[in-house]
């Protein structure tokens, strides 16, 4: 596609429920990143994929968070047993590593846990 | 650990006035540095980036930034503010091979008529 697509754009869920957030990167971009942006803060790194594998998952806050990218394109961020503190905007970005840090960000998914 | 600090969470300028948004990074090795803009309910848009070439970097919409190693700074400027410049601005740095970005906390720019 022309840009990075994230779905849904908004998600409201009850505390304790499971959610999945989807990121569809730019075609051909091998690197994919997830960030979390809390209200009034800058985005915080969660996880980075190079192809199908998670090259760096050091930003995942705990084991309730998990992400996959099985075919090296679309990625899904999964959050189990959601807590109110998980409420944030989840941003996805993709890049071609040869592009010298030319990231493209999606518009994000606003997750609200009630 | 690498960090990025943006001085001033809110900056207000009059239309036509100089815009100066401050960013300092903490690193023993000059990183790659970026400025992003975020409009309400939208994703991050790259304004400009420094990747160890020219220290004065020109970006989109009339913005530019100067890398100063001695001051570990990468301040963003624009000679004349437009109403459409009102947005949230983020400074970010990347250093490792993974290229993951470390963001500052952001500066909200208000432009008064």
Please write the tens of the pLDDT for every residue from B21-49: 999 998 776 688 999 999 987 889 999 99
Is the Cβ–Cβ distance between A106 and A4 less than 8 Å? yes
Q: How far is A101 from chain B (nearest CA, A)?
A: 7
Mention every residue, 6+ apart, whose C-beta is less than 8 A from residue A11: A19, A21, A109, A110, A111, A112
Nearest one of A75, A110, A108, A104 to A6, comparing CA atoms: A108
- CA separation for the pair A32, B71 (Å, rounded): 32
Nearest to B98 among A4, A56, A100 (CB): A56
H/E element, A65: strand A65-68
Q: How many CB atoms lie within 10 A of CB B105?
A: 13
The pLDDT tens digits of the residues spanning B49-64 come to 988 778 899 999 999 9
pLDDT for position B96: 61
- CA separation for the pair A17, B54 (Å, rounded): 50
CA A53 to chain centroid:
14
Return the number of CB contacts < 8 Å for A and B: 59
Characterize the bridge pairing of strands A109-113 and A10-13: parallel
Residues of A in contact with B5 (CB under 8 A): none
Nearest to A101 among B41, B94, B105 (CB): B94
pLDDT for position A99: 66
Residues of B in contact with A91 (CB under 8 A): 43-44
Q: Is A43 on the interface with B (CB under 8 A)?
A: yes
């Amino acid at each position: 596609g022309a840009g990075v697509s994230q779905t849904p754009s908004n998600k409201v869920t009850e505390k304790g429920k499971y959610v999945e957030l989807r990121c569809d990167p730019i075609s051909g971009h091998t690197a994919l990143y997830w960030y979390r942006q809390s209200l009034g803060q800058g985005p915080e790194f969660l996880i980075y994929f190079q192809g199908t594998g998670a090259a760096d998952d050091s930003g995942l806050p705990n084991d309730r968070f998990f992400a996959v990218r099985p075919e090296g394109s679309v990625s899904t961020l999964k959050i189990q047993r959601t807590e109110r503190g998980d409420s944030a905007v989840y941003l996805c970005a993709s890049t071609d590593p040869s592009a010298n840090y030319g990231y493209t960000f999606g518009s994000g998914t606003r997750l609200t846990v009630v | 650990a690498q960090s990025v600090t943006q001085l001033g969470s809110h900056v207000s300028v009059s239309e036509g006035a100089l815009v100066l948004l401050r960013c300092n990074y903490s690193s023993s090795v000059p990183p790659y540095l970026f400025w992003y803009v975020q409009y309400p309910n939208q994703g991050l848009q790259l304004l400009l980036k420094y990747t160890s070439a020219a220290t004065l970097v020109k970006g989109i919409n009339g913005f530019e930034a100067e890398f100063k190693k001695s001051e570990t700074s990468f301040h963003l400027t624009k000679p004349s503010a437009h109403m459409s410049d009102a947005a949230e601005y983020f400074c970010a740095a990347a250093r490792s091979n993974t290229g993951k970005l470390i963001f500052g906390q952001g500066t909200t720019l208000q432009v008064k008529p």
